[in-house]
Amino acid sequence: MLKIIAIIGPSGCGKTDLSFKLAKALPCSIINSDCRLVYRELDIGTAKPTSLELAQIRHYLVDIVDINEIYTVGNFKKDALEIISRINNTDDYVIICGGTGLYSSALLFNWQIPEYGPDDSLRQKLNDEMGQFGVKYIYDKLMDIDPDSALNINVNDSFRIIRALELCYLSGSKASLLRQKKEPMANVTWVGLNTNSKASLVERITKRFGHILDHGLIDEVKYLYKKYADSQVLHNTVNYKEFIPYLKGLTSLEEACNLAIANNCKLAKKQLAWHRPNNDIRWFDIDSVNNDEIAKDILDLLN
Same domain, 99 and 126: no
By C-alpha distance, which of 90, 67, 106 is closest to 230?
67
Q: What is the pLDDT of residue 297?
A: 96
Could you list the beta-strand ranges (E) of the chain. Answer: 3-8, 29-32, 59-60, 93-97, 188-194, 281-285
Most confident among 47-56, 175-184, 248-257, 270-279 (mean pLDDT): 248-257
Question: Of 162, 178, 194, which marks where a domain is finished?
Answer: 178
Q: What is the pLDDT of residue 256?
A: 98
pLDDT of 185 over the 90 cut: no
By C-alpha distance, which of 85, 79, 74 is closest to 116?
74
Question: Is the model more confident about 116 or about 99?
Answer: 99
% the chain with pLDDT above 90: 72
Is residue 208 very low, low, confident or very high in pLDDT (cuts 50, 70, 90)? very high
By C-alpha distance, which of 201, 198, 285, 197 is closest to 12?
201
Same domain, 61 and 190: yes
Q: Provide mean pLDDT across the span 36-64.
A: 95
Same domain, 216 and 172: no
Same domain, 191 and 88: yes
Same domain, 190 and 68: yes
Q: What is the pLDDT of residue 163?
A: 85
% the chain with pLDDT above 70: 97
- Tally of domains in the chain: 2
Q: Give the residue numbers spanning the domain of 53.
A: 3-112+181-302
Do residues 114 and 167 lie in contact, with contact meaning Cβ atoms separated by under 8 Å? yes
Q: CATH number of the domain that 125 lies in?
A: 1.10.20.140
Same domain, 137 and 65: no
Same domain, 89 and 191: yes
How many beta carbons lie within 10 A of that of residue 285, not counting itself? Answer: 13
d(CA 98, CA 34): 4
Same domain, 34 and 170: no
Please name the helix (run of DSSP H) or strand (run of DSSP E) that holds residue 123, with its range, or none: helix 120-133
Q: CATH number of the domain that 263 lies in?
A: 3.40.50.300
Rounded alpha-carbon distances, angstroms, from residue 240 to 47, 233, 266? 12, 9, 15
What letter represents residue 302's amino acid?
L
Question: Of 131, 148, 178, which marks where a domain is finished?
Answer: 178
pLDDT of 48 over the 70 cut: yes
Q: Provide mean pLDDT across the span 30-51.
A: 96
Q: What is the pLDDT of residue 246?
A: 97
Query: Per residue in 116-154, pLDDT tens?
Result: 677 778 888 988 899 999 999 999 999 999 998 888 788
Across 59-75, b (16+ Cβ under 10 Å) vs e yields bbbbbbeebeeebbbbb
Query: Which three-class secondary structure state does DSSP give residue 68?
Result: coil
Please name the helix (run of DSSP H) or strand (run of DSSP E) that holds residue 124, with its range, or none: helix 120-133
pLDDT of 179 over the 70 cut: no
Same domain, 99 and 169: no
Same domain, 207 and 272: yes
Q: Provide mean pLDDT across the span 233-243.
A: 95
Question: Of 142, 160, 178, which marks where a domain is finished?
Answer: 178
Query: Per residue in 241-283, pLDDT tens?
Result: 999 999 999 999 999 999 999 999 999 999 998 898 999 999 9
| Residue-averaged pLDDT of the chain | 92
Q: What is the pLDDT of residue 181?
A: 65
By C-alpha distance, which of 222, 198, 275 is closest to 45?
222
d(CA 209, CA 121): 38
pLDDT of 180 over the 90 cut: no
Q: What is the pLDDT of residue 174?
A: 83
pTM score > 0.95 for this model?
no
d(CA 260, CA 182): 37
Is residue 57 very low, low, confident or very high in pLDDT (cuts 50, 70, 90)? very high
Same domain, 160 and 242: no
Q: What is the pLDDT of residue 149?
A: 86
Is residue 294 very low, low, confident or very high in pLDDT (cuts 50, 70, 90)? very high
Same domain, 223 and 84: yes
